[in-house]
């Protein structure tokens, strides 16, 4: 029937001028691989209309690029895939789920917590230096003129065994 062909032609003309809704939404996808530099992932979208996608740039909130280690193959290794401005040629992925194991941001300061008065995270070397100085002060502390009991002029045997915690890039170890 001519009316069906006319409707199909009109629908095709409209579709060619409008961004498909598919690229205006976020889609959950399972991570199947990640680049060695941790800046992109390969993923299989749950929506069957989307193909397996490769080298999707990872971003964090606000579009900041970051190195994010995602445990591919873990049951919760997912990302949300979106497209900047709905443009199919500009995909991006946001970490989604609990499989992220590492986050590296290139920022001068990173604040942990959204509460008023939140303080920036402490850098490992700065914290290590402070803890070493604090430990040295505690170990060598004496009260002049006191010769016996707590606070005597001899350093405490307990404090003499105290060692500064070792700060590493992976975790804090207290020895």
Going from the N-terminus, what domains does the chain have, and what CATH number goes with each? 2-104 (2.40.50), 124-142+153-173 (no CATH)
Q: What is the mean pLDDT of residues 142-163?
A: 59
Position 142 pLDDT exceeds 60: yes
Per the CB < 8 A criterion, the answer to whether 77 and 94 are in contact is: no
Cα dihedral angle (16, 21, 25, 27), rounded to 10 degrees?
-90
Task: For the chain, state the CA radius of gyration.
Answer: 28
pLDDT at 175: 42
**Tokens read off for 125:** 């070397």
Tell me the helix, strand and coil percentages in the chain, rounded to 5.
Answer: 25, 30, 45
Position 153 pLDDT exceeds 60: no
Position 83 pLDDT exceeds 90: yes
pLDDT at 12: 77
53-67, 126-140, 143-157: which is most confident: 53-67
Position 44 pLDDT exceeds 90: yes
**Tokens read off for 52:** 């397996």
Least confident of 38-47, 74-83, 155-164: 155-164
């Amino acid at each position: 029937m001519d009316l069906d062909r006319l409707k199909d032609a009109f629908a095709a003309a409209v579709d060619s001028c409008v961004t498909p809704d598919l690229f205006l939404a976020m889609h959950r996808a399972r991570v199947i691989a990640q680049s060695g530099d941790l800046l992109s992932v390969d993923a299989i979208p749950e929506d069957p209309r989307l193909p397996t996608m490769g080298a999707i740039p990872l971003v964090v909130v606000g579009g900041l690029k970051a190195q994010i280690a995602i445990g591919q193959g873990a049951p919760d290794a997912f990302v949300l895939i979106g497209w900047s401005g709905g443009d199919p040629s500009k995909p991006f992925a946001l970490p989604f789920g609990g499989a992220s194991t590492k986050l590296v941001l290139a920022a001068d300061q990173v604040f942990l917590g959204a509460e008023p008065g939140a303080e920036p995270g402490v850098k490992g070397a700065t914290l290590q230096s402070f803890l070493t100085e604090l430990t040295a002060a505690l170990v060598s502390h004496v009260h002049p003129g006191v010769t016996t009991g707590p606070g005597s002029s001899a350093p405490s045997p307990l404090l003499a065994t105290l060692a500064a915690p070792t700060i590493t890039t992976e975790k804090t170890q207290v020895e």
